[in-house]
Amino acid sequence: MEDLFAEPMKGVPRSFIREILKASLDPEMISFAGGLPNPAFFPAKEIEQAGRQVFEKLGADVLQYSNSEGDPQLREYISNRYKSHHGLSISPENIIITNGAQQGIDLIGKTFLNSGDEVLIEKPGYLGAIQALSLYNITFIPVPVDEGGMDVAALEQASAGRHAKLLHLVPTFQNPSGVTYPDENRQQVAAVAEKNRFIVIEDDPYSELRFSGRAATSFGQFLPEQTVLLGSFSKVVAPGLRLGWIAAPGWVHEKLIVAKQAADLHTCGLTQKLVGEFLLEHDLDQRIALITKAYGEQCRAMLDALKRYVPEYISFTEPEGGMFIWGRLPESMKSLDLFQEAVKEKVVFVPGEPFYTGDAATSTFRLNFTCADPVTIEAGVRRLAKAVSRFVKS
């Protein structure tokens, strides 16, 4: 009865990422493949403590159904933080608490997408967005991204006179490439969006994980009535709690609420209160400073080792924050083939292919540096270098 499936479900390939995660289970494997925050910084004790306080204050009420928008106190915290850390005026009334930023992407799909619509997406782009939006039976129009940000001429060409409704971006410490759009580039992208009437989705789970350079300006500054912001506690508190948010102008927000209610009524009330209580009692900035210090050192260690051990014809991005470095082999070399050699050397990464919606740059790959200490990172890069030299010989 497979004919009953929705169209986009018929073409879903087996996830390569899952295969990689399986390889990562080998205890001798050094994995640069994951996308996990470092659990050493998860506030387990503090969340447990928050649990006691929440139950003392609220009792059984915290376990009842609550509203689709999410906890008012938590939304106010997020609103205040937009003001103090990003210079953005976002009312708590424009925020919905979601099950991670991933759900925000899905709610945007519900709100905007008809079968056959066009969606602009980064090339390479965020895998979770590709997965979520592709289930709306849409056509992706990939727009190239590199150290200079988005290719504005390509964006103009991809959207002028066409009907793309959305542009999905991770403009700060992008997943997978680690690049950050310069402010000037953001302004140009916003101008194209305004002119060609599409919504900019600024998917931003990483911007607070900055370990060098200066903060970039949110699209919410350049284009407030056409920007939908996605945020997350996954990388600064803990991901398993599944707490993110979506902030949108009023005309979009009122539809997003309908989508959220249809999707699952509301986000878990207890975890919202746990994180709210945690944020009340602890300084998030202090915690973030610890995380970025470690990630910065780990990123430095990886870049240094890559320079030292890996041949110069393989290039790497140099991120100022976030969780990923992007590698580029000469075009004649496929990262999937390198991956096979790397597994033999007990090191894994993610070949670039899943991050592309159209023609894939098969010579690219993603390295993650958040979950290994500098010594392990150096060892892993040496294994990678061995895999490269074996690969070149073969």
Calculate the dihedral angle through the C-alpha atoms of 23, 27, 30, 36, rounding to the nearest 10 degrees: 80
State yes or no: residue 191 binds a second copy (CB under 8 A): no
Kindly identify the residues of this chain, within the stretch 7-36, that bind a second copy according to CB under 8 A. Answer: 7, 9, 12, 15, 36
- In the complex, minimum distance from the CB of residue 286 to a second copy, in angstroms, rounded to a whole number: 18
Closer residue to a second copy in complex, CB, 100/124: 100
Calculate the dihedral angle through the C-alpha atoms of 289, 291, 297, 302, rounding to the nearest 10 degrees: -150
State yes or no: residue 281 binds a second copy (CB under 8 A): no
State yes or no: residue 132 binds a second copy (CB under 8 A): yes
- Which tokens belong to 154? 């390509």
Closer residue to a second copy in complex, CB, 216/294: 294
- Altogether, the residues listed in the chain come to a count of 394
Closer residue to a second copy in complex, CB, 54/347: 54
- Which tokens belong to 64? 């009842």
- Piece of the chain touching a second copy by CB under 8 A; list 58-66, 140-148, 211-219, 300-308: 58-66
Kindly identify the residues of this chain, within the stretch 192-211, that bind a second copy according to CB under 8 A. Answer: 197-199
Kindly identify the residues of this chain, within the stretch 211-270, that bind a second copy according to CB under 8 A. Answer: 226, 234, 238-242, 251, 255, 258-259, 261-270
- Which tokens belong to 248? 């949108």
Closer residue to a second copy in complex, CB, 12/153: 12
By DSSP bridging, strand 364-368 and strand 324-328 are antiparallel
| Listed residue (77, 38, 36) closest to 275, CA to CA | 77
Eight-class DSSP state of 329: -
- In the complex, minimum distance from the CB of residue 48 to a second copy, in angstroms, rounded to a whole number: 4
- In the complex, minimum distance from the CB of residue 17 to a second copy, in angstroms, rounded to a whole number: 10
How many secondary structure helices (H) and strands (E) does the chain include? Answer: 14, 14
State yes or no: residue 376 binds a second copy (CB under 8 A): no
By DSSP bridging, strand 166-169 and strand 199-203 are parallel
Closer residue to a second copy in complex, CB, 39/358: 39
Closer residue to a second copy in complex, CB, 135/343: 135
- In the complex, minimum distance from the CB of residue 259 to a second copy, in angstroms, rounded to a whole number: 7
Contact 138, 167 (CB under 8 A): no
- Piece of the chain touching a second copy by CB under 8 A; list 86-94, 107-115, 181-189, 299-307: 107-115
State yes or no: residue 57 binds a second copy (CB under 8 A): no
State yes or no: residue 98 binds a second copy (CB under 8 A): yes
Calculate the dihedral angle through the C-alpha atoms of 183, 188, 194, 197, rounding to the nearest 10 degrees: -110
Q: At 383, is the secondary structure helix, strand, or coil?
A: helix
Q: At 102, is the secondary structure helix, strand, or coil?
A: helix
Q: At 201, is the secondary structure helix, strand, or coil?
A: strand
Contact 24, 348 (CB under 8 A): yes
- In the complex, minimum distance from the CB of residue 250 to a second copy, in angstroms, rounded to a whole number: 12
Closer residue to a second copy in complex, CB, 137/376: 137
Considering only 45, 214, 393, 394, the residue that binds a second copy (CB under 8 A) is 45
State yes or no: residue 160 binds a second copy (CB under 8 A): no
Q: Which residues contact 275 (CB under 8 A, 6 or more apart)?
A: 47, 50, 74, 233, 237, 241, 243
Q: How far is CA 41 from the centre of its chain?
A: 19
State yes or no: residue 93 binds a second copy (CB under 8 A): no
Closer residue to a second copy in complex, CB, 273/334: 273
- Which tokens belong to 82? 């937009």
State yes or no: residue 73 binds a second copy (CB under 8 A): no
State yes or no: residue 124 binds a second copy (CB under 8 A): no
- In the complex, minimum distance from the CB of residue 113 to a second copy, in angstroms, rounded to a whole number: 5
CA distance 272 to 98: 10
State yes or no: residue 368 binds a second copy (CB under 8 A): no
Q: How far apart are the first and last CA of the chain?
A: 46
Closer residue to a second copy in complex, CB, 127/303: 127
